[in-house]
């Protein structure tokens, strides 16, 4: 088995925040535990969404994993390296994009930034030309490759940032809110590009985002943090199960029947088309779609059915609320 691409054990990072408190506005110092004992491991080739409410500790984790910030204690290994100590070796193996902050040279056109980055990563002229051409084509950068970064629109700049992060074909791509502020079309283009790159090159991905569309499209596993601790590590459907999110079965019936409000472990949430279409809500942990279909079949002839999945934003909201309630109780 190959070594994990990211290995985090009991990782902690505290910040000392100076402020004033009390009636006499005395100077006070408080310790903020931004990351508070995180443990997880990500195998090479995986794509993981890193989720959490504002201030949960996502960016702090990413900064420690990419060598920008020293941990207070614990272990963080990225590509088998110690991020701060081995920062320049690590830089050759990872690409990082912070959606809110530019990593590009503001006054240079993208083409120049790529030249500088190619030299930093010691790419051969042939490799540099090949990869730059590929990224210009795939990310559609041709129209503004010679424009200085400060004059680019947000969507153009982000595409440039992603290209810059991938120029040296890193093993691991770390993205911190890459699609924030992008319009629907730009988001979709960027997601398609990232899916394609992962398929072509097997690049591992760690993606911190609030955008569930990003998570659904790009990742197969999610880690959710709250107050610097991991509160969930698994699949997105697993979160729906954990918070007891309901699915809805919509049945089309051959003839009108009275409301199906007596089917065990279901809740009737709609009777439409004069009783020929009925909507039954259920919690997957309590019953199954097959069982409901069987029970409905005893009262009516089912012609067709569809299943509506719970809204994922709603599911995440429920998880955050649940963890907030648990931390108030403990
Ligand atoms: N340099 C710093 N000095 C003091 N406190 C900090 C510093 N950086 C982060 N924090 C605090 O650490 C906590 C975690 O912040 P972090 O930026 O990692 O959260 P986040 O999950 O990325 O949030 P968001 O979704 O809003 O980007 C917050 O309470 C934040 O105020």
Structure tokens at 93: 């193996």
Contact 306, 299 (CB under 8 A): no
* CA dihedral sign of residues 85, 89, 93, 99: positive
Contact present, 49 and 215 (Cβ < 8 Å): yes
pTM of the model: 0.85
- CB burial of 222-249 (b: ≥16 within 10 Å; e: otherwise) equals bbbbbbbbbbbeeebeebbebbebbbbb
Query: Distance (Å, rounded) from C-alpha 330 to C-alpha 264?
Result: 35
Q: How far is the CA of 178 from the centre of ligand 1 (A)?
A: 17
Cα of 61 from ligand 1 centre, angstroms: 10
Beta strands 47-51; 204-208: pairing state: parallel
Q: With 70 as the cut, is the pLDDT of residue 328 above it? A: no
Please compute the mean of the pLDDT values over residues 50-68 and round it to a whole number.
93
Distance 241 CA to ligand 1 centre (A): 29
The pLDDT of residue 1: 59
Candidate from 14, 19, 34 with most ligand 1 atoms within 8 A of CB, to mutate: 34
245: confidence class by pLDDT, cuts 50, 70, 90: confident
The answer to which of 51-55, 84-88, 89-93 has the lowest mean pLDDT is 51-55
Minimal-distance CA residue to ligand 1 atom 30: 55
Name which of 180, 146, 178 is nearest 161 in CA terms. Answer: 178
Nearest atom (ligand 1) to Cα of 210: 25
Q: What confidence tens digit (pLDDT) does each residue in 201-219 have?
A: 999 999 999 888 899 899 9
Ligand 1 binding pocket, CB closer than 6 Å = 15, 17, 32, 34, 52, 54-60
**Shortest-distance Cα residue to atom 4 of ligand 1:** 15
User: Closest residue (by CA) to atom 24 of ligand 1?
Assistant: 54
Report the distance separating Cα 95 and Cα 204, nearest Å. 10
Confidence bin at 243 (pLDDT 50/70/90): confident
Paired residues of 48 in beta bridges:
206, 221
Tokens for 35? Answer: 């990351």
SS3 197: helix
Cα–Cα distance, 287 to 264 (Å, whole number): 9
Which 8-state DSSP code applies to residue 284? Answer: T
Distance 77 CA to ligand 1 centre (A): 21
Terminal CA-CA length for the chain: 39
Give residue 57 CA to ligand 1 midpoint distance, Å. 6
Query: Across the strands, what pairs with 208?
Result: 50, 176
Which of 90-94, 240-244, 296-300 has the weakest average pLDDT? 240-244
Q: State the distance from the centre of ligand 1 to the C-alpha of 6, rounded, in angstroms.
A: 21
Query: Whose Cα sits closest to atom 18 in ligand 1?
Result: 57
Spatial separation of the C-alpha atoms in residues 9 and 218, rounded to whole Å: 25
Structure tokens at 135: 């990224």
Q: Average pLDDT of 47-59?
A: 93
Convert the pLDDT of each residue in 134-182 to its tens digit: 999 999 999 999 999 999 998 899 999 999 999 999 999 999 998 888 8
Pocket mutation for ligand 1, best pick of 19, 55, 181 (most atoms within 8 Å of C-beta):
55
> Measured between alpha carbons, how far is 162 from 166 in angstroms, rounded to an integer?
6
Residue in 88, 71, 97 with CA at minimum distance from that of residue 7: 71
C-alpha 96 to ligand 1 mean position (Å): 18
Comparing C-alpha atoms, which of 296, 201, 223 is closest to residue 253? 296
Nearest ligand 1 atom to alpha carbon 53: 25
- Contacts of 136 by beta carbon, 8 Å cutoff, 6+ apart: 142, 145, 163
**DSSP-based three-state secondary structure for 20:** strand
In this predicted structure, the answer to whether residue 242 has a pLDDT above a threshold of 90 is no
Average per-residue pLDDT for the chain? 91
Domains and CATH numbers, the chain: 44-71+80-240 (3.40.50.300), 246-309 (3.30.70)
Alpha carbon of 238 to ligand 1 centroid (Å): 27
């Amino acid at each position: 088995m190959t070594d994990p691409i990211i290995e985090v054990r009991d990782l902690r990072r505290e910040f000392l925040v100076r402020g004033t408190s009390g009636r006499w506005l005395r100077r006070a110092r408080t310790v903020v535990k931004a990351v508070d004992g995180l443990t997880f491991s990500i195998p090479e080739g995986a794509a993981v969404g890193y989720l959490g409410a504002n201030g949960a500790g996502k960016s702090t984790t990413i900064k420690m994993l990419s060598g920008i910030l020293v941990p207070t204690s614990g272990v963080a290994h990225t590509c088998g390296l110690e991020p701060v100590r081995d920062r320049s070796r690590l830089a050759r193996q990872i690409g990082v994009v912070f959606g809110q902050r530019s990593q590009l040279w503001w006054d240079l056109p993208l083409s120049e930034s790529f030249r500088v980055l190619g030299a930093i990563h010691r790419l051969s002229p042939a490799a540099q030309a090949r990869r730059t051409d590929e990224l210009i084509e795939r990310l559609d950068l041709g129209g503004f490759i010679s424009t200085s970064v400060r004059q680019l629109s947000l969507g153009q700049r982000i595409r440039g940032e992603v290209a810059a992060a991938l120029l040296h074909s890193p093993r691991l791509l770390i993205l911190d809110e890459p699609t924030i502020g992008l319009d629907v079309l730009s988001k979709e283009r960027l997601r398609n590009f990232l899916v394609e790159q992962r398929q072509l090159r097997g690049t591992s991905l760690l993606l911190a985002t609030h955008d569930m569309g990003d998570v659904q499209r790009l990742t197969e596993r999610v880690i959710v943090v709250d107050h610097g601790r991991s509160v969930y590590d698994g699949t997105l459907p697993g979160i729906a199960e954990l918070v007891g999110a309901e699915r809805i079965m919509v049945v089309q019936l051959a003839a009108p029947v009275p409301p199906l409000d007596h089917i065990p472990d279901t809740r009737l949430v709609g009777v439409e088309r004069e009783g020929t279409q009925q909507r039954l809500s259920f919690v997957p942990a309590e019953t199954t779609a097959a069982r409901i279909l069987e029970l409905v079949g005893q009262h009516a002839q089912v012609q067709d059915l569809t299943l509506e999945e719970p809204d994922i934003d709603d599911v995440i909201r429920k998880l955050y609320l649940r963890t907030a309630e648990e931390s108030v109780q403990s």
